[in-house]
Amino acid sequence: MAIAAVVILPLGLLFILSGLIVNLLQVFFYILVRPFSRNAFRRINKEIMELLSLELIWLFDWWANNKVQLFADKEIIEIMGKEQALLICNHRSDIDWLVGWVLAQHAGCLGSCLAIIKKEILCLPVIGWSMWFSGYIFLQRSWAKDENTLKSGFEGLNDFPLPFWLALFVEGTRFTQAKLLAAQQYAASVGLPVPRNVLIPRTKGFVAAVTHLRSHVPAIYNITVAIPKDESCPTLLRIFRGHSSTVHVHIERHLMQELPETSSGIAQWCKDVFVAKDALLEQHLETDSFGPGLPHEIRRTKKSLMVVIFWSCFLLAVVVILLERFPFSWGEVAFCMSFLGFTVILMHILIMFTQSERSTPPKENQPDPLNQVLLQT
């Protein structure tokens, strides 16, 4: 209760009110600009989207003082954000997406950072709506329904005027011990390498992405996220509470043209990458590092701080003006109280929505639903 009153409520009000303004701006330019120039709308929307995304990065960087340490070759760090790329990553943390935003901000392509995500996120006010305007690809987790959605989404990126990142979590779901056990059982039953730190990738979406993007997206970034042993795994709730953590990120860059030409070859390449990723995570468990050499620490951005200060001053000024010019009636007081309650509920839903699915371990001698999903990959 104290957290809701002292932290979540004011930060939630700031995020929701500013987010609704961002959504209105997106609607305005979508109606007036996009019919005449889709690329002009994309350039404008990139700047608008950053006004919202930077608030969450401020929470990560400044409020909770989280650290991201990047393990990558200097050449990769220098080219990040200057080219279009497909990102594949293990899905271990509740806030892998936010770590990705921090990386994108560091690289200079935050507003053009896209992802292939589940359709339920579209129902989230503010953040889900802003993602729709930005061109995120929303899936229903049914290949019969998603095949055309993916094709249409990929074709829409053919003429994207800016460097963009398209993130794809090929494991298809967030990592839990129950899902790992199901993956291990399936792998053992069909003679595949038994994973210890990742799930078996679902390769249909990856194959479709490579097939459609190969001609104009030059690179694939293979990203591996891990948490040091002496650090707590960051979650959105811990961030609101101001608890800091350190996140290690390892990045490899692969040229898209070097991948196999056939669908089966692309799928096998993805599976091989995740076998190597599993071994890399095992090494990290033993050494608390992704290899020799000092990591590159991503410094928190002053831009996110300036955005939060701007929104705070702007919204506070609007509230003061309204209070001076329009004395509240009891009905307006009731509306404000209802909106405050709505804010707390919405922030609670957002926090719960980001948490890993709490699947129970499969019972002995009973079929596990995840096994049925894995069999379709």
The answer as to whether 318 is a domain residue is no
Range of the domain at 272: 2-303+352-374
Q: Token pair 């001053």 is at which residue?
A: 313
The answer as to whether 68 is a domain residue is yes
The answer as to whether 330 is a domain residue is no
DSSP string, 115-181: EEEEGGGGGSTTHHHHHHHHTPEEE-S-HHHHHHHHHHHHHTTTT--S--EEEE-TT-S---HHHHH
Cα–Cα distance measured from residue 340 to residue 9, given in angstroms and rounded to the nearest whole number: 7
Please, is 274 exposed, middle or buried when counting C-beta atoms within 10 Å of its C-beta (0-12, 13-18, 19+)? buried
Residue 333 confidence (pLDDT): 65
Cα–Cα distance measured from residue 76 to residue 35, given in angstroms and rounded to the nearest whole number: 37
CA 225 to chain CA centroid, nearest Å = 13
Identify the three-state secondary structure at position 232.
coil
Pairing of strands 246-255, 67-71: parallel
Structure tokens at 328: 């509240």
Residue 6 confidence (pLDDT): 64
Number of domains making up the chain: 1
Q: Per DSSP, what are the bridge partners of residue 371?
A: none
How many residues does this entry show for the chain?
377
CB 150 within 8 A of CB 137: yes
Structure tokens at 192: 């595949």
Residue 142 confidence (pLDDT): 83
Please, is 205 exposed, middle or buried when counting C-beta atoms within 10 Å of its C-beta (0-12, 13-18, 19+)? buried
Q: pLDDT 10s digit of each residue in the chain, 377 long?
A: 445 456 677 888 899 899 999 999 999 999 999 999 999 999 999 999 999 999 999 999 999 999 999 999 999 999 999 999 999 999 887 788 999 999 999 999 999 999 999 888 888 889 999 999 999 999 988 888 899 999 999 999 999 999 999 999 999 888 888 999 999 999 999 999 999 999 999 999 999 999 999 999 999 999 999 999 888 888 888 888 888 999 999 999 999 999 999 999 999 999 999 999 999 999 999 999 998 777 999 999 999 999 999 999 999 998 888 777 777 666 666 767 777 777 767 766 676 666 654 433 333 333 333 444 333 44
The answer as to whether 310 is a domain residue is no
287 contact partners, CB below 8 Å, separation of at least 6? none
CATH number at residue 288: 3.40.1130
Cα–Cα distance measured from residue 300 to residue 181, given in angstroms and rounded to the nearest whole number: 37
Q: Dihedral (C-alpha) 74, 75, 79, 80: value to the nearest 10 degrees? A: -50
Cα–Cα distance measured from residue 106 to residue 247, given in angstroms and rounded to the nearest whole number: 15
Residue 348 confidence (pLDDT): 67
Contacts of 309-317 spanning 24+ positions with Cβ under 8 A: 311/14, 311/18, 311/51, 311/55, 312/14, 315/13, 315/14, 315/17, 315/18
Structure tokens at 307: 């955005």
Nearest CA among 346, 373, 341, 342 for reference residue 357: 373
Structure tokens at 54: 């930077």
Classify 126 in phi/psi space as left (phi over 0), alpha (psi -120 to 50) or beta: left
Residue 367's alpha-carbon distances to 78, 107, 182, 193, 208, in angstroms, are 48, 45, 10, 21, 30
